[in-house]
Amino acid sequence: MSVQQMLQAIRPFAADRHFNVREYAWVDVRKTIVQNLPESIAILSVWATDGDENIRRFASEVTRPRGVWCEHIEILKQNPELGLPILEPLKSDTSRYVQNSVGNWLNDASKTRPEFVRELCKHWEKESDTKETQYIIKRALRTIVK
């Protein structure tokens, strides 16, 4: 099964109304996502613009550099800029559920690349003057600002 086919097959579970179903969905495909990261990011960057907040959150959550219940994604820990095609469309997402994921994604990245996260947050602050972006930035910087 190709990455495209796999993601299409998992999509109904990524959009499921039950939290556990959504969580198992991203945990289940994460390893394949990592093994096919450039193609996966290209597909998931489209998901990041979906009308369903669960699909948008899936795009962010499945690529978090330091996943909570799974292996870390070393390449994203060292090169978080690779995730920007997913994160940029979400920088002022109206869903708190998505905002939390994006903030957590960047907080993960801040543990190995704090300057990258600081600079991105400064850029987003200038580019997107919304309460949603401010919330994401605060969450993203929480480890750095302690």
> String of b and e for 1-13 (b: at least 16 CB within 10 Å)?
eebeebbeebbeb
Question: For each of the chain's 146 residues, which pLDDT tens digit applies?
Answer: 999 999 999 999 999 999 999 999 998 999 999 999 999 999 999 999 999 999 999 999 999 999 877 889 999 999 999 999 999 999 999 999 999 999 999 999 999 999 999 999 999 999 999 999 999 999 999 999 87
Closest alpha carbon to 44 in 4, 101, 92 = 4
CB 101 within 8 A of CB 63: no
Delineate the domains of the chain, giving CATH numbers in brackets: 3-145 (1.25.40.290)
- Global pTM reads 0.95
d(CA 75, CA 143): 20
Residue with tokens 């998901």: 47
What Rg, from alpha-carbon coordinates, does the chain have?
14
